[in-house]
Amino acid sequence: MTATDAATPTAALDATALDATATDVADGGDNAATATATATAPAPAPAPDAIAQWSADPYADALRSGRGPLFLRRSDGWLLPLEVERWCASADAADMSVLRRCEGAVLDVGCGPGRLVAALSSLGHRVLGIDVSPAAVSRTVSLGGTALCRSVFDPLPGEGRWGSVLLIDGNIGIGGAPQELLERCARLLAPRGLLLAETSPLDVDERAQVHIDDGRGAQHRTDTDSGRQFPWARLGTRALLRYALPAGWSTAGQWESGGRCFVALRRS
């Protein structure tokens, strides 16, 4: 059964119902354990360049098939591999080192195909995934998760009430503006809420315009050059802390697992 087929039974839910469901997840209402949302919910006022890229082939094809190769390509030709196979597998030991630190209701930003949403549900957490890719949301729903097709910068259910927010699998790079993303996460979290972020294992603080490429030259095509690219960032742990600590975050933990690096930040 395909991810799209699995999402079909919930396709009749409208955006209002989906927002109510997601708010229920954040607030721990009676329907939180069983509610699911589908990729068909319209996202308000999306940023077109990035959303078009993450919604388009070859990214959507890779998520549906569960395999790459897939890359973020800079304008100078440098390629950043995207770990599609790992994203589409079950949560691994490194993932679990993050998930066991989660507190309260969890918002997974850029949830991708939903492995973390599924794993958190199995641990008993109320959890909502958001992603700008309908294919990602559909696959999350196929695993029994709750997900909305939204950008983190869109209006979201439960703002100011989430116990934990996840920025895993490079999602600290969303929007290419880490300070703005940290500010947005602070507004999503409850007081003293926890931000769990994955950082680059390199000591890097980089901004770039990128597009999604399958390594064989296939990329999303639009009528303008700018539509093929979107801003992205890569941050090591030191760079993230350089932005976070002056903004009022406190460090709640730093660790490595499976060759990956993670930081826990507490909202003041």
The reported pLDDT for the residue numbered 26 is 75
Q: pLDDT at position 54, please?
A: 53
pLDDT at 30: 38
Mean pLDDT over the full length of the chain = 83
- List pLDDT tens digits, range 78-100: 999 999 999 999 999 999 999 99
| 31: pLDDT strictly greater than 60 | no
Question: What pTM does this model have?
Answer: 0.82
What pLDDT does residue 18 have? 55
**pLDDT one-digit tens code per residue, 155-211:** 999 999 999 999 999 999 999 999 999 999 999 999 999 999 999 999 999 999 999
130-164 confidence digits (pLDDT tens) = 999 999 999 999 999 999 999 999 999 999 999 99
Share of the chain above pLDDT 70, in %: 76
Residue 234: what pLDDT?
98
The residue-averaged pLDDT of 15-36 equals 54
pLDDT value, residue 48: 55
Q: What is the mean pLDDT of residues 249-264?
A: 98
Does 56 or 62 have the greater pLDDT score?
62
pLDDT score, position 93: 98
pLDDT of residue 34: 31
pLDDT (0 to 100) of residue 68: 93
Which residues in 64-98 are b (16+ Cβ under 10 Å) and which e? beeebebbbbbeeeeebebebebbbeebeebbbbb
